[in-house]
Structure 1
């Protein structure tokens, strides 16, 4: 009986330690799907445009020490968006989806001199329930978090 109680106690302690170690920060449960529907794609792009703009400006100011950056709107065919559903996360389920946005620009001008073609890809963890709120609503930290970015200068 003492041996049984010992294994019961040790088993419970070990199981509780395993549960603490296995709790992931962000875990995707869905398959990544490219958004092909033009209306849906433009809704997501327009909703996230403020954050995308800030991410682009931050990157190019740091990379090229840019005092000015100008670009036009990307062509519709140059905008690609993928979405993936997230599972339970270590941040109490704040984020519900991963959204990856890729933008191709034929002309990005840095400091009114240097012209480059670019492809910028950003991956954000988002709370889809709060995503359409205006950025200055004070909820932006709970809506969206930049997870990863990739920048490529394309050949002229």
Structure 2
């Protein structure tokens, strides 16, 4: 399933005319871990220059009220208009997970995929709703995964 998702993102990146050549930005999120029911604060930096096709390097972190945390790096791709309008952004990262008093995800190595849907104003400021999923991709047991729903705001750095 993961390979199929990666293949779809690469194909969309290579052939889609609606892919946005994004500027560097910081994305801040405030949400809730589903299941554990713990509030979570997240931050991501998306670099301006793509590394492959339309994939922009990304580094991110999150901290939850239950003491769990994540830090990782990966890539993001944004679909929509560069100017004002609705957009969708897919981010995929690999990183380290700290369990704290949160759910046991099976080990410190975790993969985190997120989908953000929002609105971009002419100034470049964005806001919207996002969801992400963390999993060890079956590398460790258990592998219950963790989902988070969040509201986000983003500002361009250029």
TM-score where L is the length of structure 1: 0.43
Which of the pair is proportionally richer in helix? Answer: 1
Which of the pair is proportionally richer in strand? Answer: 2
